[in-house]
Amino acid sequence: MAMPCLTTVSSMLKCTTTMALPSPNVLPLGQPFSVPSVVKFASRNRTLKLDFLDFSSRTRVSAAPSDFAESLNQVVGISTEERDFSGTPHVPVYVMLPLGIINMECELVDPDDLLNQLRMLKSVDVDGVMVDTWWGIVETNSPQQYNWKGYKKLFKIVRALDLKLQVVMSFHECGGNVGDDVHIPLPKWVTQIGQENPDIYFTDRDGRRNPESLTWGIDKERVLKGRTAIEVYFEYMRSFRVEFDEFFEDGSITEIEIGLGACGELRYPSYPAKHGWEYPGIGEFQCYDKYLTKSLQKAAVARGHSFWGRCPDHAGSYNSQPQDTKFFCDGGEYDSAYGRFFLNWYSQTLIDHGDRVLALANLAFEGTPISVKLSGIHWWYKTASHAAELTAGFYNRTNRDGYGPIASMLKKHGTALNFTCVELRTLDQQEGFPEAMADPEGLVWQVLNAAWDADIPVASENALPCYDRPGYNKILEHAKPRNDPDGRHLSAFTYLRLNEALLHEPNLREFQLFVKRMHGEAVEGL
């Protein structure tokens, strides 16, 4: 069965982009079938029990190999009707490597085991792998002192197998929550600055700091030992480009994904689990550090209404619902003159951050495709205010497209959009939490079309590991939309994540069929 998910849970796990929701029974071939549990929910208290490895694209939860035995190593019954993808465009398939593959000393962990796993991936014709290069590992001790040794060894192994590389510039913290077996903080020298000046971090209305990533308020402030945040990111990217020149020149590195915020995504860290957020809370605005506060006040003065230089009152807390707040409720203050001013400023600050970093990324990686990851915040999508999207920085309320301006900014820099949650079904979300007013399918349709209308490439990744035909079919339908008059399709797909379950039969065989169909190859029996 396709594994239903709840998008963007950096909440539950700091680097997470998606989490599973309770799965309803489904009816393949007209017969009831109980979906194996991946993330177990207590009935209505919204308490999560996590017992699954490789939970998301940016973090993972430990689980014994035996935990996979009964629930995951199944290929369930499928419909007799299968779409024939032979002759369709070739969509490259990449596989994310485990998070802990490089340790804090920048050493490659267990290269022999990795080599064997990569050989198995090569045997099913995957195009390449994705790997995070963590700022907190590479530049951890001193500014401009970069240690790339583990990554160089890894890249040589990948290249020797004739696999390609998608590389992520990961400027955020990974892990840190209970159950995580990988924790990679920001560089030590940065966290030392943060002890003296905590305003370098995003801050909520109660003054709680979030050390997942640096506030965009210091993009142009020389608070990082004489450098701005933008300069720090650029010099890291430039160091990578110089260090791995041979892999660029021979085509081994096919794409660079630029981390732009929490979880490597272009968004505010509006729903952190460490501050008590639980699904489907609306989250909170994250603009209370002194730098963003100053920016807001300056914008209010320029608008001629200096008293607007404050964050909204009555916007609730992390776990509020829209109707319980004066700001997000139907007819609420979000649609007032002040509300529109604030949300324009808040969302434009997000877009401006992406604009600044991508301008320098194109300088560092001239000639190499770059991409940006966008989170799929689908809860409260069916309400007028789209509250959860607003607190994350996406000004996407009813009658206003919040993703078109982001797509236009990406177009300016020739950047691809990487979007999550393409495999989620709205029905599954409604079964689990009907009060969340979620609509992942509506969100996916809006975002993909915003990107395609802007004529930029669109890539994607699955939310949770998928091992069965129905789940792969859902991904394929989004990768290659049926009867699209323009023949639009994904530019690439990245599978989350390399693990023992994927390489165990019959899962590997099913994955191989999926790869063939993504490649547009004929598959016997389908």
Q: What is the mean pLDDT of the chain?
A: 86
Distance separating the N- and C-terminal Cα atoms of the chain:
18
Asked if residue 415 has pLDDT above 50, the reply is: yes
- Residues 6, 22: Cα–Cα separation, whole Å: 9
* pLDDT digit string, tens, across residues 284-319: 999 999 999 999 999 999 999 999 999 999 999 999
212, 172 contact by CB (below 8 A) = yes
- Give the per-residue pLDDT at 175: 83
- pLDDT score at 411: 98
Bridge-based pairing state of the strands 48-50 and 39-41: antiparallel
Other C-beta atoms closer than 10 Å to the C-beta of 519 total 18
Residue 58 pLDDT exceeds 70 = no
Residues 6+ apart with CB under 8 A from 475: 422, 423, 460, 462, 466, 493, 514
Question: What is the structure's pLDDT at 368?
Answer: 97
Checking if the pLDDT of 56 tops 80, the result is: no
Where residue 209 falls among pLDDT bands split at 50, 70, 90?
A: very high
For the record, the structure tokens of 375 come out as 């989170």
> Which of 329, 373, 347 has the alpha carbon at shortest distance from 130?
373
Please, which pLDDT band fits residue 370 given cuts at 50, 70 and 90?
very high
Q: Yes or no: say if 407 and 462 are a contact pair by the CB < 8 Å rule.
A: no
pLDDT tens for 136-185 read: 999 999 999 999 999 999 999 999 999 999 999 999 999 854 444 699 99
Alpha-carbon span 243 to 400, nearest angstrom:
44
SS3 460: strand
Q: What percent of the chain has pLDDT over 90?
A: 75
Instruction: Please tell me which residue, 356 or 81, carries the higher pLDDT value.
Output: 356
Sequential DSSP letters for 3-60: --EEE--TTTSTT--EEE-PPPPB-GGGS-BPPPPSEEE-TTT--EEE--SS-SSS--
Q: What percent of the chain has pLDDT over 70?
A: 83
Reported as a single tens digit per residue, the pLDDT across 39-54 is 333 333 333 333 333 3
Helix%, strand%, coil% for the chain, nearest 5? 40, 15, 50
Q: Which two tokens stand for residue 499?
A: 């693990």
Query: What pTM, to 2 d.p., does this model score?
Result: 0.85
Q: Among 93, 17, 103, 21, which Cα is nearest to 60's?
A: 17
Give the pLDDT confidence score for residue 474 in this predicted structure: 86
**503 — pLDDT class (breaks 50, 70, 90):** very high
What is the distance between the alpha carbons of residues 404 and 406, in angstroms, rounded to a whole number? 5
Measure the CA–CA gap between 377 and 511, rounded to whole angstroms: 27
Q: Considering only residues 507 and 424, tell me which one the structure prediction assigns the higher pLDDT.
A: 507
> Which residues are annotated as catalytic?
265, 461
Confidence of residue 430 (pLDDT cuts 50, 70, 90): confident
pLDDT at res. 32: 34
Q: Is the peptide bond before 267 cis (omega within 30 degrees of 0)?
A: no
**What is the full DSSP assignment across 178-213?**
TTBS--B-S-HHHHHHHHH-GGGEEE-TT--EEEEE
Across the range 16-26, mean pLDDT stands at 36
Confidence tier at 420 by pLDDT (50, 70, 90) = confident
Given pLDDT bands bounded at 50, 70 and 90, which one contains residue 421? confident
366 pLDDT more than 50: yes
